Amino acid sequence: MKRSLCIGATMAFALSSAFSSLDQFPENVERNLTILNQIQGCSEGFASEVAGSSMLYSSFRPDPERALITRATSGEMAIIWKTQPAPAAIRGGNVDFVVMAGMYGQTPSGFRFRMFINNVHGFDFVTTPTEQWTVHGKEGGALQFIGATKDKFGDLFGYLRITLPVGWLRPGEPVECKVVGEKANSAAWLMVFEVTDVVAYQQAMVNNEAFCSVQFRPAGTEHTISVFCPSSWDQKELLLTFGSQPGRLQKIGNHNGAYSAVFAVGNEKISSPMTISVDGGLVMRLDSIFVTLSKTLVYPRKLVSLSAAPPDAKGWDLTYRATRGGISRTVPPTNRHSAHHYRSSRRSAMEPERST
């Protein structure tokens, strides 16, 4: 029998988290780019569920996603799934898969989980508050957790990158993965989300997330206009245009650790509308400048916010933020607890937890 639960549909993430704070939006954008670089080229590690308990749970994606869950309870609560087929022609000695995952990050920590690859023991790992870690198996195998966010309970969500030596799999065939928690009578848990577009989702997030800070600083008869950008825009061409005048083109580069393009524009040349484009794609258009601004624009794949305080003697600052849009599904209301606390408070609703 297989138990399936719906939980945490609107789980609130801690505002103080280093991953989710709005005050650290540029850092979030850079983190997402770093994560993409860590999983780029991986094959999708989840294709189908084989066995185990599952629940609907929220993480860093806009919709709650179904996830397989194992705990360090009886030592028998296993989850099993299959990857997409391994490449038919394997170059090099390893194949990398990636799954979206969540992990108990509270204390006490150190609860052991074991992963089997095609029914052969591959890796052991333990729960930890550490946001990134790697364990190594035989013959060059490796299991890496890449943290993307942390919820208000201290639990971690992100990706598991599974590096498998070619001798551990059969080219052109799916890999069967199994994870089981130790016998420790603990609610410590690991989730593997049943999503099949991990790399594409992260790529879309990077494509549609961006920040841009535009600073106007008066300098006598002209203004120095600095446009600060994410590192993903490095070496791209930024076109700044005022009114009907010809645009000014600068290549974005790393200047003292910040990616930016800097312009010197005569005061008489600064007029509206102002537009900024990067590599031919429009980033923003302002019909008025040197004004208080607070607006949100909705596009099919992203949300854009523009904000600016009134100008002062120092000049005028404009902030642009783009985030990946998404429409959340409607799910039944539930108690808003972590996976750990939900089991403690609703144990009777969760028994039995393993498939038979």
The pLDDT tens digits of the residues spanning 37-71 come to: 999 999 999 999 999 999 998 888 877 789 999 99
- Let me know whether 108 and 53 are in one domain: yes
- Let me know whether 318 and 334 are in one domain: no
* pLDDT exceeds cutoff 50 at 21: no
* pLDDT exceeds cutoff 70 at 347: no
Look at residue 282 and tell me if it is in a domain. yes
> How far is residue 164's CA from residue 308's CA, in Å, rounded to a whole number?
50
| Averaged pLDDT of the chain | 85
- The domain total for the chain is 2
Mean pLDDT of 112-127: 97
CATH code, domain carrying 346: 2.60.120.260
- Let me know whether 81 and 42 are in one domain: yes
Look at residue 202 and tell me if it is in a domain. no
- Let me know whether 80 and 59 are in one domain: yes
- Let me know whether 134 and 268 are in one domain: no
CATH code, domain carrying 270: 2.60.40
- The rounded percent of the chain whose pLDDT value lies above 90 is 72
Look at residue 355 and tell me if it is in a domain. no
Question: Between residues 342 and 242, which one has the greater pLDDT?
Answer: 242
Q: How confident is the model at residue 23 (pLDDT cuts 50, 70, 90)?
A: low
- Let me know whether 217 and 260 are in one domain: yes
Look at residue 166 and tell me if it is in a domain. yes
- Let me know whether 334 and 319 are in one domain: no
Look at residue 220 and tell me if it is in a domain. yes
Judge if the upstream peptide bond of residue 352 is cis by omega within 30 degrees of 0: yes
Phi, psi for 296 (deg, rounded to 5) = -125, 135
- Let me know whether 175 and 295 are in one domain: no
- Let me know whether 223 and 131 are in one domain: no
Q: How confident is the model at residue 8 (pLDDT cuts 50, 70, 90)?
A: very low
Q: Which of 13-22, 53-62, 111-120 has the lowest mean pLDDT?
A: 13-22
Look at residue 167 and tell me if it is in a domain. yes
Alpha helices per DSSP H over 142-224 = 198-208
pLDDT at site 49: 97
Look at residue 92 and tell me if it is in a domain. yes
Q: How confident is the model at residue 90 (pLDDT cuts 50, 70, 90)?
A: confident
* pLDDT exceeds cutoff 80 at 248: yes
CA distances from 19 to 31, 90, 140, 303 (A): 8, 35, 31, 19
Domain of residue 215: give its range: 209-324
CA distances from 98 to 48, 75, 91, 203 (A): 14, 25, 18, 14
- Let me know whether 344 and 305 are in one domain: no
Q: How confident is the model at residue 345 (pLDDT cuts 50, 70, 90)?
A: very low
- Let me know whether 217 and 277 are in one domain: yes
Question: Between residues 145 and 87, which one has the greater pLDDT?
Answer: 145
Question: Between residues 11 and 69, which one has the greater pLDDT?
Answer: 69
pLDDT at site 92: 73
Look at residue 164 and tell me if it is in a domain. yes
Digit-coded pLDDT (tens) for 180-220: 999 999 999 999 999 999 999 999 888 888 999 999 999 99
- Let me know whether 185 and 214 are in one domain: no
* pLDDT exceeds cutoff 80 at 162: yes
Closest CA to 82 of 118, 130, 31: 118
> How far is residue 340's CA from residue 342's CA, in Å, rounded to a whole number?
6
Question: Between residues 298 and 98, which one has the greater pLDDT?
Answer: 98
pLDDT at site 325: 67
